[in-house]
Structure 1
Amino acid sequence: MRRRIGRARMSGYRRLLACDLDGTLLTSAGELTGTVSAALHRAAAAGIAVAVITARPRRDVPPDVLARVPASAHWAHSNGALLFRPASPVPVRLGGFAPRQAARLMAAVREAGPAWSFALDLTGRTVLVDPFPVAEARYWNDVAVCDWPAVAALGEPVSKILVRTGTACDAALVSGLQRAVGDRAVATASGGRFAELGPRGATKQDALARICAGLGLKPRDAVAVGDGLNDLAMLSAAGTAAAPANAPEEVRRAADLVLPSNDDDAVAALVDLLLTGPDPDGHAPGTEHPVTRG
């Protein structure tokens, strides 16, 4: 069990706020509320660096969400494989699979799940590997389709391999996927019916460490908040870990603080704690929802 964080150390103690996107910053409807947007700007104005570390590729983050996050924010996409410094349109790559390596990993996974299908997250597009069900990609941008033999000839690194399982991807499924690929990749899941394979050295935890190093900080100087299995290593590395109430039990257990849900402005409650600390009843200032200790 993680250590408990005393109230006196919360206010003004952490110098970086690292947030997951879906299920954490965004509501269940995929919206960034005005309350959460204002909280992020308050944190930035108070000198707390802000980072958004997400499984989504940048092209799939709605423009209105990008516009409502502070311009000073750092972004990491594809579970940490690609970093964007504030206001920079050019990513820094932390890692990627060579196309032939991606093909070999897909073959290993196919042995474990013959009915599973694959999509490949590249820097500027998502490639569906036939027979991936195209309807599953209807909300994704810049999508192409290729057959299996064409994967090895893609000509650029693969940031992330999406594995469509068709079932909920819980910790047991992720563990089985990890066994199938061994130490050649990191298996995880961010929710829904997709598991994910990422390059070693290019996880959310690695992105957090890289962002901290660029700011002259250490991960223990950060508070991280997330709701998914892919957030666990980042939460473990941060000095303070938080999870919204909608996170699965294993994520809430890993957190020092359990916040209101993403639909109840979880990150705004966390920012209030960082800036002013909880009231005597354990509520974040200005909220009706208690923040509990993990």
Structure 2
Amino acid sequence: MTTAPGDRPRLLACDLDGTLLDAHGRLSQSVSAALHRARSAGVALAVITARPGRDVGAAVSGRVPDSAYWAYSNGSVIHAPGAAAPSRALGFTADRAVRIVADVRTARPAWSCALDLVDRTVTVAPFPSGGSAHWRHVVRCASADELTLPGPVPKVLVHTGTVCDATVVEEVQRVIGPDAVATASGGAYVELVPPGTGKSEALRWLCAELGVDPADTVAVGDGLNDLGMLRLAGLAAAPANAPVEVRRAVDVVLPSNDEDGVAVLVGLLLDGRAVTPRRYRPLPSTSLEE
């Protein structure tokens, strides 16, 4: 999508960490006001995050318009505005999730796993205790043999002990094979979701739910796990803090999350200024070739 003056996207889909939130995990007043302004202008909103819902506190959710959709666990669990129960909850079967843990541990004994359920996260030893220190509702078990899961399991986390860049994601993908899709949202974990899920499929589902053509959407994100939805959207944007692989994939590079990049994007979309590929690029052209 290339917007002309006066055009409005019908849906704005945003990643959370590193995009809507600043480096301290805060949703600024400027970004909050921009989201409310977009909604008042008739733009539907969706937050599509790798976090489970229980890890999004009221200090964040309370500053997002009540009419926004929330898609958690990389889009596997979607809540309609104001709904306590999910409208969609997908994931691995319990048996498949247990097999993934066993396969990972067999192939790479130094790696460990955690299973991100709707109501809790289950870590499997030797998962580092520090890695889950700030998570809510964590249950620890000594081995995959102890796992009793209700299913579905929206997401499996793999701790490799290394920075989870594209190379590490590819290595994990080779280990697990085609029955799961590996990606990463930054930090220390590779994230596994079932084929046919992920942020792009969440955006596709939201478009169908709202009767919106994906060409009439704008997506913004900063992680490798955002690439699918960025490619699907009619217009794709990334903050300047995104890794080079993401910045190369989008139409518009914005100021960083610490500089309220999403607020800048909303201004471009609503203030009558045309947004064309690379229209707004505060970065030098050479910065995309790092």
Q: TM-score, normalised by structure 2?
A: 0.92
Provide the residue aligned with 1:82 in structure 2.
77
Deviates more, 1:194-203 or 1:103-112: 103-112
Residue 40 in structure 1 maps to residue 35 in structure 2: yes
Q: 1:106 offset after TM fit, Å?
A: 1.8
On the 8 A contact 2:4/2:273 being kept in 1, the answer is: no
Deviations 1:108-143 (A, max 9, x none): 222443211111111101111122122211111111
Provide the residue aligned with 2:25 in structure 1.
30
Deviates more, 1:137-146 or 1:64-73: 137-146
Deviations 1:158-187 (A, max 9, x none): 110011112110111111111222220110
Change (3 A) 1:86 1:131: same
Residue 149 in structure 1 maps to residue 145 in structure 2: yes
- Distance in 1, matches of 2:246 and 2:89, equals 25
- Distance in 2, matches of 1:167 and 1:291, equals 28
Give ranges in structure 2 of 5+ residues lacking alignment: none
Q: TM-score, normalised by structure 1?
A: 0.91
Residue 178 in structure 1 maps to residue 170 in structure 2: no
Provide the residue aligned with 2:130 in structure 1.
135
Percent identity for Structure 1 against Structure 2: 55
Provide the residue aligned with 1:250 in structure 2.
245
On the 8 A contact 2:79/2:88 being kept in 1, the answer is: no
- Distance in 2, matches of 1:80 and 1:39, equals 23
- Where do residues 1-294 of structure 1 align in structure 2 (5 Å cutoff)? 6=2, 8=4, 11-147=6-142, 148-151=144-147, 153-278=148-273, 290=282
Q: 1:82 offset after TM fit, Å?
A: 0.1
Change (3 A) 1:76 1:279: closer
- Distance in 2, matches of 1:49 and 1:6, equals 18
On the 8 A contact 1:125/1:144 being kept in 2, the answer is: yes
- Distance in 1, matches of 2:239 and 2:258, equals 9
2:87 is matched by which residue type in structure 1?
Answer: V
- The CA RMSD measured in Å over matched residues stands at 2.1
Q: Secondary structure at 2:62's aligned position in 1?
A: helix
Deviates more, 1:188-197 or 1:171-180: 171-180
Deviations 1:267-292 (A, max 9, x none): 00010011014489x987xxxx8489
Count residues in correspondence. 283
2:174 is matched by which residue type in structure 1?
Answer: R
